[in-house]
Amino acid sequence: MQPVDFTTLTSACSELRAYWLPSRLEQVYQRDRYTISIALRTLKQRGWLEVSWHPQAARICIGDPPPRSPDTFTFSQQLVHQLGGLALIGIEAIAPWERAIDLQFARRPGESALYHLYVEIMGKYSNAILTDANNFIITAAHQVSEQQSSVRPIQTGQLYEFPPKLTGPVPSLSESPARWQERVSLVPGAIKRQLIKSYSGLSTALVDSLLLAANIAPETTTDQLSSEDWQKLFQCWQEWLQALDVGKFQPAWTATGYTVMGWGAVAPVKDTQSLLNKYYTDQLNQQVFSQLRHQLSQKLNNILAKLKVKAQAFTTRLQQSDQADDYRQKADLLMANLQNWEPGMKEITLADFETGEPVAIALQPDKNGVQNAQYFYKQHQKLKRARSAVEPLLLEVQSEIDYLEQVEAAIAQIENYETAEDLQALEEIRDELVGQKYLEDPGYRNRSTNETAITNFRRYRTPNGVEILIGRNNGQNDQLTFRIAGDYDLWFHAQEIPGSHLLMRLEPGTVPDKDDLQFAANLAAYYSRARQSDQVPVVYTQPKHVYKPKGAKPGIAIYKQERILWGKPQSVKGQ
């Protein structure tokens, strides 16, 4: 993940000063253990300033509004208690070339600052620290004890100390080309490495884009550079320093991340705020998505494996109970032919009542004929009782397997993170499994799924423009089928195969043509467990013919008056 460097931080703060000073602090919300959102209002606009001390994604930028779930963190409560209603009057760097800024708060613009919120963007040492006007620490996002750091402890009540000063030389616009080249080439080596070693304030991403703009390979050694190479590189160096000096930047996406200098741009971005917000939101969501998807898949695999072993054991017992009638038949034969029994017999062969075929019956030699028959009758009754006891247990286990396979199919369809909706769909599955007692509640703040899920369906249009909605998980499937569906819509599902519920939205009196029906069937097949098949049977009916059995788990439905189409999931790929 590309870290926020000095150049990016300067660009972000330049924009914040231009558009958000002065502003009034209205609210503070802590999103997670590393991020707070501060509601700011100016005369023209209202927005959320996101401040993060995440070890990989520390940043400050205007971000998205926070969720509506309760904030349970104390750091944000302390901030709003001290800063609520005050004006943000300044955003200043604490020292040249430092990735630490001072957010200054006063009663009104023009007055001296009452509080300082220091935001330190320094990788794993990032932090957010609130002090009073005299720089005594009131609270910190991450307190550092003297045992953790004897150099710079950060504790409530102590005087805030600035980070240690930079020891290396810093870039300067006034430095001559000759002096600059001499410093960089003093020790021969790869130009990328030498630039980073020679000056403070440079990041790997910045140097990569600088060399790209100068058309120089990063591993080119300093003694391999021509005078033209040095001249071009120095021009880019000066361009960078001038952008820092005047605060004029060109934020853009690059092939590997982002830049605020416009070098290597593949798509320009309107401002640094939206660039940083999207990049770090997507990167962090991607991390959470991958971890959550792996955890859910592993948990489901383990549960399903155990349930399938249990189902096999019940099935075996039922197969054994199929022998109940054989025991009764043997008992009847033996009772009808007691005159043929002789003491000490280990086996007797008797003719079957119906076919006349010989039937060999194993006997216990220490028992008489009646006792052997009674033993067979008891075995018959025992196996019959076993069947009546095992059948509902097998049905219950099989129902559980069907439900979890439906969940498994939903997870399989959310393969990669592309938008925040993909992560939300996974979180809804996690919350569902917590609700069904398959997972322990990890203390996550649940989203307001009733509000968000409606806009989170997969959406398609048929060849004739008819809207199709597809559930991403069981919660959405239930909402789609039993809350959203109208009287004139059509409901689709892969026949007896775990998969998504699909709804074709139709206007009153509209009759879909064959192409639209086939298109919907193809989608229903694709978003099912049979995605890799060439053809999949798909049922469709009116929503009024779809029911949820009493006490059924989420996503489970039964239907009637259905019609069948053959869906072709392979035709959906690439759409």
Print burial letters for 393-424: b (CB count within 10 Å at least 16), e (below 16): ebeebeebbebbbbbbbbbebbeebeeebbbb
List, as one string, the DSSP characters of 380-402.
HHHHHHHHHHHHHHHHHHHHHHH
Is residue 358 classed as helix, strand or coil in its secondary structure?
Answer: strand
Is the pLDDT reported for residue 446 higher than 70? no
pLDDT in tens, 333-353: 889 889 888 898 998 988 888
Parts of the chain belonging to CATH 2.30.310.10: 6-140
Helices (H), 121-253: 177-184, 191-198, 204-213, 227-246
Is the pLDDT reported for residue 100 higher than 80? yes
Q: Could you tell me which of 462, 519, 475 has the C-alpha nearest to residue 501? A: 475
Show Cβ contacts of residue 120 under 8 Å, excluding neighbours closer than 6 positions: 53, 58, 99, 100, 126, 127, 128, 129, 163
What is the model's pTM? 0.78
Parts of the chain belonging to CATH 1.10.287: 295-447
pLDDT in tens, 114-126: 999 999 999 999 9
Q: Could you tell me which of 240, 251, 274, 202 has the C-alpha nearest to residue 5? A: 202
Q: In 10 A of CB 145, how many CB atoms? A: 10
CATH code, residues 177-270? 1.10.8.50
Question: Residue 359: what pLDDT?
Answer: 86
Question: Residue 455: what pLDDT?
Answer: 60
Residue 61 to residues 17, 100, 113, 248: CA-CA distances in angstroms? 11, 14, 22, 17
Instruction: Answer for the pair 272, 61: CB distance below 8 angstroms, yes or no.
Output: yes
Lowest mean pLDDT among 33-37, 350-354, 499-503: 350-354
Q: Could you tell me which of 126, 127, 101 has the C-alpha nearest to residue 116? A: 101
Question: Residue 449: what pLDDT?
Answer: 41
Give 159's DSSP letter: B
pLDDT in tens, 160-188: 999 888 888 999 999 999 999 999 998 89
Token pair recorded at residue 449: 């799924």
Question: Residue 445: what pLDDT?
Answer: 47
Instruction: Answer for the pair 289, 422: CB distance below 8 angstroms, yes or no.
Output: yes
Lowest mean pLDDT among 64-78, 277-291, 372-386: 372-386
Parts of the chain belonging to CATH 1.10.8.50: 177-270
Instruction: Answer for the pair 532, 480: CB distance below 8 angstroms, yes or no.
Output: no
CATH topology of domain 295-447: Helix Hairpins (1.10.287)
Is the pLDDT reported for residue 325 higher than 90? no
What's the whole-number mean pLDDT along residues 256-282?
Answer: 95
- The percent of residues in the chain predicted with pLDDT above 90, rounded, is 73
CATH topology of domain 6-140: ibrinogen binding protein from staphylococcus aureus fold (2.30.310)
Tell me whether residue 384 is exposed, middle or buried, using C-beta atoms within 10 angstroms of its C-beta: 0 to 12, 13 to 18, 19 or more.
Answer: middle
